[in-house]
A and B are shown apart, each in its own frame.
Chain A
Amino acid sequence: MSTAMRYKSKLVNPEEKQDHEKQYVGFATLPNQVHRKSVKKGFDFTLMVAGESGLGKSTLVNSLFLTDLYKDRKLLNAEERINQTVEIIKHTVDIEEKGVKLKLTIVDTPGFGDAVNNTECWKPITDYIDQQFEQYFRDESGLNRKNIQDNRVHCCLYFISPFGHGLRPVDVEFMKALHEKVNIVPLIAKADCLIPSEIRKLKERIREEIDKFGIKVYQFPECDSDEDEEFKQQDRELKAVSVFPPPAPACVFKVKAGYSSSEPLFVGDAISKEERFESAPFAVIGSNTVVEAKGQRVRGRLYPWGIVEVENQAHCDFVKLRNMLIRTHMHDLKDVTCDVHYENYRAQCIQQMTSKLTQDNRIESPIPILPLPTPDTETEKLIKMKDEELRRMQEMLQKMQQQMQDQ
């Protein structure tokens, strides 16, 4: 804004201000207040990635958050692999962008689906998710609720192999075991091995099978009518099949001489409003490397026959996934986790406890009695001391992390 404009607005406001002040209460600034407080507090987000090994999970996470979480990964040798079981590994990283802090936790599940016999290989994962719910439940029902750590898994990205003809039995069983505990976002991994018609077929097939088996994957919430136009357009694009336009003569390919890359030119790739198919599950490609394409440096993969650009909407759905996960629906994912999945867990837990109590004591007890220890001043003092220590240690850890980053 130029100085002239600013001066003008200042002049304008004082005159109108007096009229406004009479009707102006002032609670319209609430969103700003919340915004400021949350920026100070920072956000946290827990993301789980699951799928067979070799589907590009680590690469995708690195591409999504533009960090290098998996720098020193050691691939196991032959003997170690034979007896591998499913593990749960957590990586936590603090990211900051424009003053907003995000504490990002990635829960990785190496070993899932890799063995010869994969019966119940999802059990460690469901156990982990339940553990986080249980821990939160205990903390919430406890006495001191100031520093509750929220380790609940907010979203699970499930990687479906692009080499099959749809969902495999492992995929179906995994999603059925987890769809009521966590928000599942299915993805088609390594989508650069599929041509557009194959991707379309595969997506249709997967959607059919998800319906058939009654799996409840995460649904994008409908836009409210008072959202701004840009958001609505984005939402429409998310839901429409914009990535791969129909194979009509509207597409023109320009092929260069030799075996170098050929540049596709799209003529008329506007989304027709009639084609409102869902573009879920997203077909994604990840990349750790930056390549030179059309004079620009982009994240991509270099092949002898062309360059795949990760952030090119025509090549894959990565941009859509990123927008959905981070830019538009991150908060909604957290809300659904808190309001739906966690509440379901809590209700189940309480039901179990009451039924157990009524069985044991044969007392009609409408209020769930939690097994809490009776408070006394000694333990309260101890709890306060421990809280202080915890906070101090957290601060020290943060300082150390920053120091390490600066180095």
Chain B
Amino acid sequence: MEPPAVPEEEEEEEEEEGAVPLSMAPGPVGCQLFGYVGIEAVLDQMKIKTMKTGFEFNIMVVGQSGLGKSTMVNTLFKSKVSRKSSQPGQEERIPKTVQLQSITHIIQEKGVKMKLTVTDTPGFGDQINNDNCWDPIIKYINEQYERYLREEILITRKRKIPDTRVHGCVYFVPPTGHWLRPLDLEFMRRLSKIVNVVPVIAKADTLTLEERAEFKQRIQEDLRTHAISVYPQEDFDQDPEDRALNNRIREKIPFAVVGADQEHQVNGKRVLGRKTKWGIIEVENPAHCEFPLLQDLLIRSHLQDLKDITHNVHYESYRVRRLNESNRPGLGPLNGLPAKGEASSHL
């Protein structure tokens, strides 16, 4: 998002007068407008433009099988976008290795189009020996960065580079109520460096409110001890207002969520929920679970922020790593020419 290219009146005058070099010119001085100029109309222009082009959002869900990932994705976007909905009738079987399956849908709301890609990771953490089960995932994420990088350094670039980079990775922690397992720690440690990780407590309807609070505290302690920075990361807060907002969110991470795709009748209203013998768990009721908070974070308030951080921070650090690597002899150059030798990136 670039600021409008309207030069301030003050700057222009100073340059003409004393030939002061640009680097030493004082910053733009605010001045009072004594009439309506129309600068704010640029916001409307932007809105119209983005509505025409639409958004892209890529989300990845990771966790052991049976934690409700597909149901959660369906509930988040209120449509059948998960892997299971696209392959109905397929029996649940744990694959022998971690596989990555991406499904893309175009969903629309009030004229705004979104190209949503959900990447699922069946087989993660299900085997007896789960060593390095995160490698296929890391490889996938880096491949998407690589793809974007290659498009970016072409001589004739496309007007809009297709963005397949993963903007957010939702990690499902099983609700043991005790602590993070070694597998969770290993995974989040590795992945929080290359992608925005949002941990959530899955199937939280098995924890009472006190157990939930204790569990969250222990998880937060664990994350601090192991220096794992999950989204929203503290380093990227831009101003105090952001920081205050994000601090409130950080207190509640990880969100305790419950997913449901069936509607029931409660007090005359139709709500999404789970009906048990002792009550109905309403998914969108903040007193029951924190699903509304997750929805707010991922979609209503921080969607653009997720994309920005992916683009400005994670992608840039990948790019820097790649470019540094290619400067060393032996690896193929990254300027659009065909590589001399086999340039397999071992990042």
| B205 close to chain A: CB less than 8 A | yes
CB distance B275 to A169 under 8 Å? no
Interface segment out of the listed A63-71, A133-141, A308-316, A343-351: A308-316
Asked whether B183 is an interface residue with its Cβ less than 8 Å from the other chain, the reply is: yes
Instruction: Assess the A116–B127 pair: CB atoms within 8 A.
Output: no
Please tell me if the beta carbons of B181 and A114 are within 8 angstroms of each other in the complex.
yes
Which residues of chain A are near B94, meaning CB under 8 Å? 168-169
B296 to chain A, nearest CB (A): 20
A315–B277 CA distance with the chains assembled, in angstroms: 6
Please give, as numbers and ranges, the residues of chain A lying within 8 Å of B183 by CB-CB distance: 116
Residues of B within 8 A of A163 (CB): 64, 66-68, 174-175, 202-203
User: Which stretch in B20-28, B245-253, B279-287, B321-329 binds the other chain?
Assistant: B279-287
Interface stretch, picked from B39-47, B54-62, B128-136, B138-146, is B128-136
CA–CA, A106 to B65, complex, Å?
31
- Give 1 or 0 for each of A141-171: 1 = CB within 8 Å of chain B CB: 0000000000000000000011111101110
Identity of the chain A residue whose Cβ is nearest the Cβ of B93 in the assembled complex: A165
- Interface residues in B264-279 (C-beta closer than 8 Å to A): 266-267, 274-279
Cβ contacts under 8 Å, A121 to chain B: 128
Q: When the two chains form their complex, are residues B178 and A169 in contact, meaning their CB atoms are under 8 A apart? A: no
**A54 interface neighbour in B174, B182, B203, Cβ under 8 Å:** B174
| B206 lies within 8 A of chain A by Cβ | yes
Expressed in whole angstroms, the Cα–Cα distance for A75 and B287 within the complex equals 29
Complex alpha-carbon distance, A357 and B267, angstroms: 79
Known pairs A78-B226, A163-B64, A302-B208; A169 contacts B128 (CB<8 A): yes
Residues of B within 8 Å of A170, CB to CB, are 128
Q: A114 to B281, Cβ gap below 8 A?
A: no
In the complex, which residues of chain A have a beta carbon less than 8 angstroms from the beta carbon of B175?
A: 54, 163, 193
A53 and B287 within 8 A (CB): no
Please encode chain A, from 59 to 86, with 1 for each CB lying within 8 Å of some chain B CB and 0 for all others: 0000000000000000111100110000
B174 x A264 contact (CB < 8 A) = no
**Known contacts being A53-B178, A55-B176, A78-B222, is A165 close to B66, with CB within 8 Å?**
yes
A117 and B126 contacting across the interface, CB-CB below 8 Å = no
B268 to chain A, nearest CB (A): 10
Enumerate chain B residues within 8 angstroms of A181, measured Cβ to Cβ.
none
Q: Is the CB of A165 within 8 A of B92?
A: yes
Chain B residues near A118 (CB-CB < 8 A): 128-130
CB distance from A162 to the nearest CB of B (A): 8
A7 at interface, CB cutoff 8 A:
no
> Known contacts A116-B131, A173-B128: does B208 contact A303 (CB below 8 Å)?
yes
User: CA of A118 to CA of B288 in the docked complex: distance in angstroms?
Assistant: 35
The answer to whether A259 touches B222 (Cβ under 8 A) is no
Q: How many residues in A have their beta carbons less than 8 Å from beta carbons of B?
A: 51
* A169 adjacent to B66 (CB under 8 Å): no
A-B contact count (CB 8 A): 127
B274 and A195 contacting across the interface, CB-CB below 8 Å: yes
Q: Are A305 and B225 in contact (CB under 8 A)?
A: no
- Does chain B have a CB within 8 A of A262? yes
Task: Assess whether B206 is in contact with A82, with CB atoms less than 8 Å apart.
Answer: no
A54 touches B225 (CB 8 A): no
The answer to whether A192 and B205 touch across the interface, beta carbons within 8 angstroms, is yes
Determine whether the beta carbon of B205 is less than 8 Å from that of A81: no
Inter-chain CA distance A163–B68, complex, in Å, is: 8
Contact B282 A54 (CB under 8 A): no
Which of chain B's residues has its CB closest to A308's CB? Answer: B278
Answer yes or no: A319 CB below 8 A from chain B CBs.
no
Chain A contacts of B261 at CB under 8 A? Answer: none
B213 contacts A by Cβ under 8 Å: no
Chain B positions 170-198 with a Cβ under 8 Å from a chain A Cβ: 174-179, 181-183, 185-186
- For the complex, give the distance between the alpha carbons of A173 and B226 in Å: 32
Q: How far is the CA of A169 from the CA of B126 in the complex (A)?
A: 7
In the assembled complex, the CB of B127 is this many whole angstroms from the nearest CB of chain A, namely 6
**Least Cβ–Cβ distance between B271 and chain A, in angstroms:** 11
Report the minimal beta-carbon distance from B134 to chain A, rounded to whole angstroms.
10
Chain A residues 179-230 with CB under 8 Å of chain B are 190, 192-193, 195-196
Q: Which residues of B contact A308 (CB under 8 A)?
A: 278
| Cα–Cα distance between A262 and B179 once the two chains are bound (Å) | 32
Confirm or deny: B209 has a beta carbon within 8 angstroms of a beta carbon on chain A. Answer: yes
Contact A82 B64 (CB under 8 A): no
Contact among B68, B179, B208 for A301, CB-based, below 8 A: B208
State A261–B94 Cα separation when bound (angstroms). 37
List CB contacts (< 8 Å) of B65-80 with chain A.
65-68
| Alpha-carbon distance A52/B176, docked complex (angstroms) | 9
Give, as a whole number of angstroms, the nearest-CB distance from B200 to chain A: 14
B-chain residues with CB within 8 Å of residue A115 when the two chains form the complex: 182
A304 touches B209 (CB 8 A): yes
Min CB gap A392→B, angstroms: 42
A114's contact among B128, B182, B277, B279, by CB below 8 Å, is which? B182
Could you tell me the distance between the alpha carbons of A165 and B175 in the complex, rounded to whole angstroms?
Answer: 16
Chain B residues with CB under 8 A of A119: 128-129
Contact between chains at A304 and B288 (CB < 8 Å): yes
Q: Does A30 contact B (CB under 8 A)?
A: no
A166→B279 contact, CB < 8 A: no
A257 CB-CB contact with B under 8 Å = yes
The complex places the Cα of A163 from the Cα of B72 at a distance, in Å, of 14
Cα of A302 to Cα of B207 in the assembled complex, Å: 9
- CB <8 Å contact, B65 and A164: yes
Q: Once the chains bind, are B179 and A261 in contact (CB under 8 Å)?
A: no
Q: Which residues of B contact A82 (CB under 8 A)?
A: 182, 185
Report chain B residues within 8 Å CB of A309: 278
Contacts A78-B222, A195-B275, A305-B279: A169 and B127 contacting too (C-beta < 8 A)? yes
Complex Cα distance A166/B285, Å?
A: 30
Tell me the nearest residue of chain B to A261, going by C-beta: B279
* Complex alpha-carbon distance, A301 and B277, angstroms: 13
Closest 8 CB pairs of A and B: A54-B176, A306-B279, A306-B278, A193-B206, A305-B279, A164-B66, A165-B92, A163-B66
Q: List 14 A-B contacts (CB under 8 A).
A: A77-B225, A78-B185, A82-B182, A117-B129, A117-B131, A118-B130, A161-B66, A163-B67, A169-B94, A258-B267, A264-B277, A303-B278, A303-B279, A303-B281
New A-B pairs, 5, CB < 8 Å, besides A82-B182, A164-B64, A303-B279? A54-B175, A163-B174, A190-B206, A195-B276, A301-B208
